[in-house]
A and B are shown apart, each in its own frame.
Chain A
């Protein structure tokens, strides 16, 4: 290990290794939940890799985008595979972030001293959804075109800054080639940079603070609590799982390909079956159910306000749940979490069944 010594003499590798081997992962019924964040991380890495490969052939622009994706999937060797993996991994990425967030929520891992980890995680979820929203438009097909029209129009209904937001997103008044260029820039430059920085912080907090355990575990006497070393025990399990996930993605990509659909046309009627990506479905379905006017405000504005308030409450949970900081569980916040899951799952299923 000459190289190791050479580097170690200069930047003290020993302490990093010591840190990794000394880090303990609690072993109890909830240990499996600790893998979810790691899987999300892995899926992001897959996105960066496949995304960079897609950039090599993708051409933004109203007259080139659809054609270039068609070219990728039909002419470029394994182009279909890269695109399918990027699409499937994008969806699983969001799914795993949601799962990760809910398990962390019920384990009360957001309580002191890990509030900032929760805040940064919540913003990462929003960024990931924006990743998906901006990527969805890139193939410039009919479904994505109208979904983007609807999505950006909703942003336009926000009081005061709505008009600015709409023009900012669309690069003008209409969804057009200019919107596509802008979404491309957001998708491949702005979001990767911001996401990577924030993810780095999120992971750093986790490393510095170690793994949290639910209050019941924390209150157990010391000799009743079990641990395994992070390195190599937990890390090998992590890696094995990543390998399995990659295989699952490959199977999905081959057997359940994503359709490219029809090219977008600003003069076509919106076809039946316009739907956003599944992780926006619960909001989409809710907006559909709200009547045109609620009291004296427009239905969509009412819906936006409701979701903004709900999102803010979810974001501020570490601050609002006073009992968690005393290492106690509160029934109220348990029900809030269950309600959130039932609402999201219910609305999503409803949205797909009509």
Chain B
């Protein structure tokens, strides 16, 4: 090579050109692969039915916006509403009527009715929702009412 500087210059130009070319293809593809995020439907209240649909010591999973929420009626007749999404790996939890605890079948995680993680792999407590009874109807809300 007669002129090493010239070769170096050409190498750099070629490398930079190839990189820019690749980026201009990969960038739109990587963006395309992630779907546009659907704005949270701003749900703050959900009417989940009349009290009579919840016998004591029972539960039901309902949809709160896009999230599943478990509504529990305790043996004493109180209502609890908690996120139904296990904080471990995303399974839906269930209410265990015999021990009156919340149980995740996927990896045997336990929570109490306040959502506190008791045993098993769950690293965090379940988020709590507010429950209000109005005209015999059970209403779940996410806003802080205290």
Which positions in A face B, CB cutoff 8 Å? 146, 149-150, 152-154, 164, 167-168, 171-174, 178, 266-274, 287-288, 290-293, 298-300
Selected interface stretch from B49-57, B75-83, B86-94, B129-137: B86-94
Whether B18 is near chain A, meaning CB under 8 Å from some CB there, is: no
Q: Is there an interface contact between B123 and A298, defined as CB atoms closer than 8 Å? A: yes
Nearest A residue (CB) for B69: A267
Nearest B residue (CB) for A167: B34
Nearest A residue (CB) for B33: A168
Q: Is there an interface contact between A292 and B34, defined as CB atoms closer than 8 Å? A: no
Docked Cα-Cα span, A181 to B14, in Å, equals 40
Whether B107 is near chain A, meaning CB under 8 Å from some CB there, is: yes
Q: Is there an interface contact between B34 and A168, defined as CB atoms closer than 8 Å? A: yes
- Most chain B beta-carbon neighbours within 10 Å: one of A154, A173, A266, A269: A269
Name the A residues within 8 Å of B34 (CB-CB): 164, 167-168
Q: How many A-B residue pairs have CB under 8 A?
A: 78
**Min CB gap B33→A, angstroms:** 6
Q: Is there an interface contact between B92 and A268, defined as CB atoms closer than 8 Å? A: yes
- Most chain A beta-carbon neighbours within 10 Å: one of B84, B94, B107: B107
Name the A residues within 8 Å of B63 (CB-CB): 267
Partner of B61, one of A150, A171, A267, A293: A267
Q: Is there an interface contact between B121 and A146, defined as CB atoms closer than 8 Å? A: no
**Min CB gap A76→B, angstroms:** 33
Docked Cα-Cα span, A152 to B91, in Å, equals 11
Q: Is there an interface contact between B68 and A266, defined as CB atoms closer than 8 Å? A: yes
Whether B66 is near chain A, meaning CB under 8 Å from some CB there, is: yes
Q: Is there an interface contact between A299 and B123, defined as CB atoms closer than 8 Å? A: yes
Q: Is there an interface contact between A267 and B68, defined as CB atoms closer than 8 Å? A: yes
Docked Cα-Cα span, A15 to B63, in Å, equals 67
Docked Cα-Cα span, A288 to B92, in Å, equals 16
Name the A residues within 8 Å of B90 (CB-CB): 149-150, 152-153
Partner of B89, one of A153, A164, A167: A153
Name the A residues within 8 Å of B35 (CB-CB): 167, 171-172, 178
**Min CB gap B62→A, angstroms:** 7
Q: Is there an interface contact between A146 and B106, defined as CB atoms closer than 8 Å? A: yes
Name the B residues within 8 Å of A174 (CB-CB): 66
Which positions in B face A, CB cutoff 8 Å? 33-35, 37-38, 61-63, 66, 68, 70, 84, 86, 88-94, 104-108, 117, 120-123
Name the B residues within 8 Å of A300 (CB-CB): 88-89, 121
Docked Cα-Cα span, A287 to B94, in Å, equals 21
Docked Cα-Cα span, A268 to B68, in Å, equals 9
Partner of A291, one of B61, B84, B94, B121: B121
Say yes or no: A150-B121 contact (C-beta < 8 A), given A270-B106, A274-B106: no
Say yes or no: A287-B107 contact (C-beta < 8 A), given A268-B92, A269-B94, A270-B91: yes
Nearest B residue (CB) for A267: B61
Docked Cα-Cα span, A167 to B70, in Å, equals 25
- Most chain B beta-carbon neighbours within 10 Å: one of A171, A271, A274, A292: A292
Partner of A149, one of B84, B91, B105, B117: B91
- Most chain A beta-carbon neighbours within 10 Å: one of B35, B70, B122: B35
Name the B residues within 8 Å of A267 (CB-CB): 61-63, 68, 92
Nearest B residue (CB) for A154: B89
**Min CB gap B92→A, angstroms:** 5
Q: Is there an interface contact between B121 and A270, defined as CB atoms closer than 8 Å? A: no
Q: Is there an interface contact between A269 and B121, defined as CB atoms closer than 8 Å? A: no
- Most chain A beta-carbon neighbours within 10 Å: one of B62, B88, B106: B106
Return 19 A-B CB contacts under 8 Å, by A number.
Answer: A150-B89, A150-B106, A153-B89, A164-B34, A168-B33, A178-B35, A266-B92, A267-B61, A267-B68, A269-B61, A269-B70, A269-B93, A270-B92, A270-B104, A271-B105, A274-B91, A288-B121, A290-B121, A292-B121
Name the A residues within 8 Å of B93 (CB-CB): 269-270
Docked Cα-Cα span, A288 to B61, in Å, equals 25
Docked Cα-Cα span, A173 to B67, in Å, equals 11
Docked Cα-Cα span, A152 to B92, in Å, equals 15
